[in-house]
Amino acid sequence: MAKKDKKRKFQEVNIKNRKAAFDYHLLDKFEAGIKLFGTEIKSIRLGEANLKDSFCAFEDEELYIHSLFISEYKYGNYFNHETRRRRKLLMRKRELTRLQKKVKEKGLSIIPYRLYISERGFAKVEIALAQGKKSYDKRDTIKTRESKRELDRIKKAYK
């Protein structure tokens, strides 16, 4: 009789903030770990998180992610977590000071771009140093996207 694998199979977790690429020029990207509770990581592994309205801010030389939505774990009891609490991001001190200097001097923002599970099983956030787009930049983005879509449609028709 063969032993069964006791590993749970979770879906591939790759949650993106699509609106961030539309609203901001992403200048530089960094990888950061997140300090989480047990029910939070279980919900993330099930793919129940949303980066839509989240942002990062410095508080006392430490970087926190605010309003990251992680739904309550379905099987959690009274130990369940708050859905939109602030969570500490784990990065190297050098990277934190570099980010803090750039945010202060140039007026840039730090935006969470992608949430995923690493190969070792840890939740990671890809954050981006970003500069806000003007309305005409957004119109250019829409124009190039629609022209690319039209070209793809024409190529597909001639194949």
3-state SS record for 52-66? CCCEEEEECCEEEEE
State which H helix or E strand residue 21 sits in: helix 18-23
Residue 112 and residue 125 in contact, taking contact as beta carbons nearer than 8 Å? yes
Q: For residue 5, is pLDDT > 70? A: no
Contact 32/127 with Cβ under 8 angstroms? yes
Distance CA 47, CA 10 (A): 9
What gap in Å lies between CA 36 and CA 89, rounded to an integer? 10
pLDDT mean across residues, the chain: 85
Pick the CATH number of 14-133 from 2.40.50.140, 1.10.1530.10, 2.40.280.10, 3.40.50.1820: 2.40.280.10
Angle at 22 between CA 95 and CA 153, to 5 degrees: 130
Among 32, 19, 30, which Cα is nearest to 118's?
Answer: 32
In the chain, domain spans:
14-133
> Model confidence at 94, in pLDDT bands (50, 70, 90)?
very high
Report pLDDT digits (tens) over 11-52: 678 888 888 888 888 888 999 999 988 888 888 888 888 888
Query: pLDDT: is 147 or 4 the higher one?
Result: 147
* 33 Cα distance to chain centroid: 11
Residue 60 falls in which region: left (phi positive, over 0), alpha (psi -120 to 50) or beta: left
What is the tens place of the pLDDT at every residue in 46-82? 888 888 888 899 998 899 999 889 888 888 778 788 8
Q: What is the pLDDT of residue 8?
A: 53
Could you tell me the pTM of the whole model? 0.76
